[in-house]
Amino acid sequence: MLQSQVRGVVRPAEGPVSPLTGKPRSRLVSTTPEELARAQAAARGAQPEWAARSFEERYNALERAAKAMLADRDAILALVKEEMGKHEAEGIFTEALGPLDSIKGWKKIVEPAIAKTVRLNPLSFPNKHARSLLVPRGVVGIIAPWNYPVAGLYRSVFPALLTGNAVILKPSEYTPRSSSWFIEHLARELPFGVVQAVIGAGEVGAALIDSGIDACVFTGSPAVGARVRVRCAELGIPSSVEMGGKDAAIVLMDCDLDRTSAGITQWALSNSGQACGAIEVVYVEENIAHAFIARMQRAWERLRTGPGTEDIEIHPIANARQLAIIEAHVADAIAKGAKLVCGGRATGEGLGYLPTLLDNCNATMDVVREETFGPVLAVVRIKSVEEAIRAINHAQYGLGASIWSGDTARAERLAERLDVGIVDVNNHAFTGAIAALPWSGTRATGTGIANSEWSLLTFCRPKAITVDTGDGPEPFWMPFDRDTRALGDLLADAQIGKLLGAVKIPLLLRRRLQHIRSFFI
């Protein structure tokens, strides 16, 4: 570990249980208030020099770090397996493979956005030119979740650094080593203090917000996210807050059942369902529901669940708290009349849980209303697509949804009616890996925006610069005379097509300028 960049990480203590074994594992003792203050001071001192570097210099440093991460991928695969149970076959695609693609994508977004020439009307603004800049806010605090401890950082850490900010990351207390691996690789290529990590649970995140940061990015639960948003507002700093999702898929009768079954399986069970963009509910038209569920059951019963070997698809749940939520949601659904098609129990190996398919679900059940965050899919049978649209638009969360249909034109029209942040047709959630597309939501998901140019105002503030090359006063400047109002009236008439008096404009302009010049002699 780089002690100066990742603070509070060298004192092991008893902590959460291992997803692989279910036995207690060591954790990293929290960053102390004194360590946090030193991190803040180092970031504040390093940021101006980092911002003063050219965009190309900043990009090149991050590109070198991304290439080093790819070369060191075995190390991160081992860490995410240890900390959250994710096996290598999934980890290489969801954690290790993307840093270079991501930084290249962010270059295309940030470079043209940070400085733009603004075209001015030469008649309204003669002898003037202007430009707009995005100025780094200073020190950005990032409070990250545990489900994607590396890849989940690309959409905040990379744009924050590329735009000239310093970053202090507070990773989840469940995955501190994995996220610290990411910070270490960046720190080797960046000036001391530009990127750091502080370690601990919620109290360290709260202290980070109060430490003097200039902006905050938070991903986590609605309860904590609401407190983060309020505290940032009290401090007068911008925040981008994403507070989860309960994504739904709509399966229409004209879909390709082979592709649809495979696609929904992928996006319901990827990362063992521990993703804010996972499909947790599927609305299926009644006349194909039986065939859809039969295909899913045959496939899901053959999926392999285990403690992290190469021969499995469903890795363990990352922590015991999340496993308890999953078990409670499934029990609630069955008690309220859902049919258990397959799964529905822990494996007994570590924190494993079988892929679980529930039929005949309804809106009274937690698996339909609340974020389950596990390998569980609730099937709701519908008579028409209108039922699904109403349900999705009135759901607690509004992150993403997908529509599966052979008529893509119709599906795209339906997508426009869904009140969520992201809609995919015949696929799901892959948009999160595209830096150019906004990742955002509505309702309890929050107002935060990740990815795309729309997210940059969290990390930057806009600044306008204008230059006037004129050599005299402007005709609307003081002092006023009777020609002032007359000139204004003529200009207004000219804009709405009344041009009879337009010939008088040059005369009035000359008289106004002469009057102003003589006043200041």
Active site residues: 242, 276
DSSP assignment string, 280-313: EEEEEEHHHHHHHHHHHHHHHTT--B-SS-TT-S
Cα radius of gyration rounded to whole Å, the chain: 28
Give the residue from 484, 492, 488, 491 showing the smallest Cα distance to 519: 484
Q: Identify the three-state secondary structure at position 6.
A: strand
Burial class (CB in 10 A: 0-12, 13-18, 19+), 258: exposed
Closest CA to 19 of 337, 297, 374, 406: 374
Beta strand pairing status for 166-170 and 139-143?
A: parallel
Decide if 285 contacts 251 (C-beta within 8 A).
Answer: yes
What's the CA gap between 78 and 85, in Å, rounded? Answer: 9
CB-based contact 159:136 (threshold 8 Å): no
459 and 159 Cβ atoms separated by less than 8 Å: yes
User: 96-101: long-range contacts at Cβ-Cβ below 8 A with a sequence spacing of 24 or more?
Assistant: 96/69, 96/70, 96/150, 97/70, 97/73, 98/151, 98/154, 98/433, 99/65, 99/66, 99/69, 99/70, 99/150, 99/154, 100/63, 100/66, 100/67, 100/69, 100/70, 101/433
- Judge whether 379 and 361 are in contact, CB under 8 Å: yes
Whole-number Cα distances in Å, 363 to 29, 251, 335, 408, 478: 42, 17, 14, 28, 67
- E runs forming strands in 383-486: 397-398, 400-404, 422-425, 439-440, 442-443, 449-450, 460-468
Instruction: Take residue 321 and report the two structure tokens written for it.
Output: 């708290």
C-alpha dist (Å) from residue 327 to 312, 345, 469: 21, 7, 70
Contact predicate 150/447, CB 8 Å: no
- Burial zone of 509 (CB within 10 Å; 0-12 exposed, 13-18 middle, 19+ buried): middle
